[in-house]
Amino acid sequence: MITTVTLNPAIDRTLYLNHFRPGEVNRASSIIETIGGKGINVSRTLHSLGIPTRATGLIGSRNQYRVEELFHDSGIDVDFATVDATTRTNTKVVDLHDRSTTDLNEPGMKVEETEISKWLIKLDESIESSEYVVLSGSLPVGCPSDTYRRIQDRFKGRTRFVLDADLQALCEGIKAGPYLIKPNLNELREAFNVTLADEHEIIAFTRTLIQTYGITFVLVSMGDDGGLLITKESAVRADALKVDLKSTAGAGDAMLAGCLYGLMMDLPLHDVLRVAVICGSLACSIQRGETFTRDDIFAHWD
């Protein structure tokens, strides 16, 4: 089983417009609401690929009923703790004309250290049956930037941790030596203040992280340029598929889910990345709330 952690989830409200005009009145052609957050997105894709998964984390009690409705619609197994707050709503505006997505993200709820401690009891119950635990997404107000590091330290040796965070949460989280990290290229550059002008520089830099922190895999998503999967001894690259772009929201999460699927299936390294990149590309070709299956992946396997 793969457990995913989302400490700052959101109701994702996606508005599709034929042409988005900033500063003017805009009318949506369709609206979709789903429960989102990076870990939840990973679980949703894993579930559609037939991998047992459970999503856990924190949700607000003040709009708990609506969140639980959306969880039910997703079909994934969940075990979230509630805090006295409101789960945020993130709004995505998809311009169907120029195929762009504008994100309007709320900061999220404020949590106390005691609430994190209570939730950790839930995580402790899942650890033993989890081959991987994915720590991903932003931290809610009140969570120290080293929260992901402390979670890994608490359960060290009991599972393999996967980290998908940015800025300080990434810099702190890698200090605990996660099994796999999945930054995108911009996150790498910004978090570590490096240029990374080409593929050779990306590989060289990520190998310094591998060597320094004992990381096994680094999965770098590069948008239209596909992705890189790097280990201490090997590095492979795969190009993104050419798809009819609907939205880039959640593409990185689908890519991570595909990578974990490949690892769970014991695929060769280049095939692990191949599945990951296909999943990321397919996520761009569907609307929010839609899913794809293993058959869709292998339809693009040539």
Question: Catalytic amino acids?
Answer: 253
Distances (CA, A) of 117 to 81, 252, 292, 298: 11, 29, 36, 42
Chain Cα centroid distance, residue 49: 16
Rounded Cα distance between 263 and 229, Å, is 12
Distances (CA, A) of 56 to 80, 88, 128: 5, 16, 15
Rounded Cα distance between 293 and 75, Å, is 14
Residue owning tokens 């990520």 = 206
| Per-residue DSSP letter, 158 | S
Say how many Å lie between the first and final Cα of the chain, rounded. 29
Rounded Cα distance between 156 and 5, Å, is 16
Q: Exposure of 223 by Cβ count < 10 A (0-12 exposed, 13-18 middle, 19+ buried)?
A: middle
Rounded Cα distance between 167 and 186, Å, is 10
